[in-house]
Structure 1
């Protein structure tokens, strides 16, 4: 386990030098299809690119935008930027052109490192006051001049110096530039080892964007400080790319967002044990359910390569039913909680101490409190203080003052509760909480968890409607919906055909029209069933008044639904209507 005593200071140069000194001949970074380069080779590539940045005119404090998917060169570029004293501005690969340009302008970035496939997002860098452009694919200069000669001078860096400005793609609206120091990020990487020790024999497979602080700090820095090796996908993580990668790499550690395991559970696990009536009946018995889950867990671990010992889940709240499955399956999942503003980790549980429904214990070195708790439930706003809390929102002192007080306490905006053993559980976002007609607090996330258990619901969102009503927006599983409608319509269709043979004139026309609208009718019938299902499984105050379908939900990089886009009092376009 690496400690601050090994590094000396919480800075990127100290972190890099320690890893190069201790692990020089070990494999460090690779694409799945390639061969790893060693830590020594990584160091040489960083030196080369840092010199290129310096000679092109990049100075300490300059902002350098970094736009590309996770890769060895992304890591090399980041180290080159930060060890030069410049500030890295990672941009999410799924940002639109407008978002990319807006972030570059706001950060006042004068240099850009961009992957070839994303270059169209910045067609005219000069119009954004960007004077230097480098290609991420090979770390070569595309635009700019070499105005300086000689070696790169020694750059004096303080722990409090800004290392990165990270623009969030949040659930509540416009992106904010979160200013993180060297100490914020390096401190979190060191303290995060409390939840999972990583060593030089570990192998990671990265499937999340490094421009997201969760993947960067936990999925990259924690590996790099311990001499482990990380593999990167060359294409987005689909079934056709991920399964062969898992088979080849056989990772010991991976990071994920809840959606991935939720899809595995709903699309593979549940259908397997509910398809046949006898098996389904046994599956409803807790004893047999645990046995079936244990068998599924063995198969799941084999699918992940057979060596997985830590499957970290973060970025959003985990469905309790899915978490129960992972626990009963003895799948080595871990839970983490935090925000971009906290670099990101605040609390969590390692694979051996997870407890469904809770996040876990507070990370050492961090203070966590529950402010203004409800006298009946104990639920209040989670506030945090520690060396991992951001410096502030870049160029936005007013917004910073709203969340960060003079004593260093950061308001997370999350609602939670701490039990007697210091374990944190989350209830939802304070901004999402709905005030019921009787003054009661309604947490939409709790209702959504129930909705998502329905076999035909892919995802859901509960919002406030008119007159304090509750509206459930659901994205239906269209493939299953079609199968269900066909199944339910079979008997009805037989009766209708018999009626057609005997009917004449207008009756025949009516029957044919009914058949043509059968699918739409079954959809409405299923929506009514979903409403009944959820209302039978929530308390009286949380019952929904109506269920409306949507085509698909817009999401952030961590696969959280952008709630601010779905105000029921505005126009919500139902699925299938254009």
Structure 2
């Protein structure tokens, strides 16, 4: 597909070309064909028009992944309104704040999210509509109520001889710089900023997916990343829909069991996911099937036997449906040992590095050319530099510019000027090196980097990656407390108790893990103490741990 066409052209042409194909399916639920989506969009437009909604007005959508979520999104952008996707995992006060800050006129909301919301806290809304069946539950505008009640009659009057492909002619973006999406970040710093993504960014990101991935009309894609986050929104939904694929929505981040079941049925062509999902499946499903006794230890052993490699690869491919071209992993750092294991067995995965502010892609490469531990090269239409005197050897901040870049933060010029400099370079806050061929290797977040009294820079993610592969460690955080490195560990209690261990045994094993880990670490990054955390760490939508919540952890 060519970059010259606008983003709305992608949507319009896909609907027309794939009219009779299946488009959107709620897993184990309803299926909409492309023509059904087109008809729902047409009814939507009649309602928006009748209610006096103008192009450029904001419409918010908040709910779990579903066919109707996708319809609400498509109907909004093809009308020329600005879509405000909100993560359903956000707390109610944050959702209220986003709706008010964005000045949304309408809110489409899932029934579960709606239970926790208070319409009085969102006084600017004209109406609130349930995503389940597009029923208005709050209506503060007579024309809106009337339009919803009579939408089928109005639709029948406008299209008396049935709705056909030739009726489709959506409003096109007037300029590539026109605002399309305001996506509020789920950042690990505790507050949300509204990232303004223009049509230029959506178009460039979707075009990049078409350049890199082989999805054809009728292929299957599983959407399990939250659509309210730009990674899932672009890689699964917008790319899949524009390619004529059949999208299946899983309503929540699935367990390895649900993945195995759904993927074996659906057989997706490409898979986008966060590292946590792949790591869980490899550690909990693949490794025990290969050798139940040594399990995780396989991650640190070289595999020399070709037959064993082939067997491991076969099992790993089957776990994800055995029909995919590649798995795109993004949103958080990938465990180094798991990655090394996958490289050894020639498993087709790649890393996509990006951020909401780039809608999302900054760097990526095809799996065949990806270098170990790297996140690939600068994406097409993006320029990437490392702010370091010696980018190959000394980590510096990743800075970038190009077609994917946001317009800025909505109603927050100060925050925009802090991240985009006067020359148009976006400062990511991530530290990395770049080799002579342009492959970028992320070392960690600059704000996570720990600086010891002796002046040593320590990247906690690198230590955590090793620790997370040790016996009975589910997840961990490395903290600097009183100039000493401390490991805060959430053990895999289920696994430990299943093996007949007690809490005191787990504590002893964690101490053994600390001693073994220190043998692998230089003197300046030795772990002095282990603290046990008794519940899973709180995470963002991308499954990154909210580090700021644990800096003062006692224990």
TM-score in same-fold range (> 0.5): yes
Distance 2:68 2:26 in 1: 10
Unaligned ranges ≥5, structure 2: 148-153, 159-168
CA distance 1:282–1:354, change in 2 (3 Å): closer
User: How many aligned residue pairs are there?
Assistant: 532
Distance 1:188 1:306 in 2: 26
Give yes or no for contact 2:444–2:459 (8 Å, CA) kept in 1: yes
Give yes or no for contact 1:194–1:363 (8 Å, CA) kept in 2: no
Q: What's the TM-score, normalizing by structure 2?
A: 0.90
Q: Does 1:563 align with 2:547?
A: yes
Give yes or no for contact 2:507–2:532 (8 Å, CA) kept in 1: no
Deviations 1:306-354 (A, max 9, x none): 2122211111111121112222233221210000000000111223223
Q: Which moved more, 1:375-384 or 1:94-103?
A: 375-384
Alignment of 1:208-223 (within 5 A): 208-223=225-240
Which of the residues 400, 417, 431 maps onto 1:401? Answer: 417
Give yes or no for contact 1:208–1:256 (8 Å, CA) kept in 2: yes
CA distance 1:530–1:66, change in 2 (3 Å): same
Q: Does 1:21 align with 2:4?
A: no
Deviations 1:270-289 (A, max 9, x none): 44445447x99999762447
Match of 1:478 in 2: 493
How far did 1:390 drift?
0.7
Distance 2:475 2:69 in 1: 32
Q: Does 1:267 align with 2:284?
A: yes
How far did 1:127 drift?
4.3
Match of 2:47 in 1: 52
Give yes or no for contact 2:282–2:316 (8 Å, CA) kept in 1: no
Match of 1:516 in 2: none
Match of 2:64 in 1: 69
Q: Does 1:442 align with 2:461?
A: no
Give yes or no for contact 1:164–1:181 (8 Å, CA) kept in 2: yes
Give yes or no for contact 1:273–1:280 (8 Å, CA) kept in 2: no
Match of 2:511 in 1: 528
Q: Does 1:425 align with 2:409?
A: no
Alignment of 1:306-345 (within 5 A): 306-345=322-361
Distance 1:406 1:181 in 2: 19
Which of the residues 258, 261, 270 maps onto 1:253? Answer: 270
Match of 2:2 in 1: 3
How far did 1:241 drift?
3.8
Q: Which moved more, 1:150-159 or 1:363-372?
A: 150-159
Distance 1:109 1:306 in 2: 43
CA distance 1:280–1:36, change in 2 (3 Å): closer
CA distance 1:181–1:26, change in 2 (3 Å): same
Match of 1:545 in 2: 528
Give yes or no for contact 1:290–1:328 (8 Å, CA) kept in 2: no
CA distance 1:21–1:480, change in 2 (3 Å): closer
Distance 1:565 1:443 in 2: 18
SS at match of 1:326: helix
Match of 1:85 in 2: 80
CA distance 1:268–1:244, change in 2 (3 Å): closer
Match of 1:500 in 2: none
Deviations 1:410-433 (A, max 9, x none): 000000111111111100001111
Q: What's the TM-score, normalizing by structure 1?
A: 0.86
Give yes or no for contact 1:57–1:146 (8 Å, CA) kept in 2: no
SS at match of 1:4: coil
Distance 2:316 2:305 in 1: 16
Q: Which moved more, 1:524-533 or 1:553-562?
A: 524-533
Match of 2:151 in 1: none
Which of the residues 220, 224, 232 maps onto 2:249? Answer: 232
Distance 2:298 2:354 in 1: 39
Alignment of 1:340-351 (within 5 A): 340-351=356-367
Give yes or no for contact 1:450–1:537 (8 Å, CA) kept in 2: no
Which of the residues 182, 207, 230 maps onto 1:165? Answer: 182
Match of 2:150 in 1: none
Alignment of 1:105-504 (within 5 A): 105-125=100-120, 127-144=122-139, 145=141, 147=143, 157-234=174-251, 237-239=254-256, 241-276=258-293, 286-288=302-304, 291-373=307-389, 377-466=393-482, 468-482=483-497, 486=501
Deviations 1:22-74 (A, max 9, x none): 32233221122246433222222111112212222322222211011111111
Give yes or no for contact 2:80–2:171 (8 Å, CA) kept in 1: no
Deviations 1:72-98 (A, max 9, x none): 111111111112222111111211112
SS at match of 2:486: strand
Distance 1:406 1:254 in 2: 37
Q: Which moved more, 1:75-84 or 1:50-59?
A: 50-59
Q: Which runs of 4+ in 1 moved over 6 A?
A: 148-153, 279-284
CA distance 1:120–1:288, change in 2 (3 Å): same
Distance 2:300 2:435 in 1: 31
SS at match of 1:110: strand
Give yes or no for contact 1:283–1:289 (8 Å, CA) kept in 2: no
Distance 1:526 1:244 in 2: 34
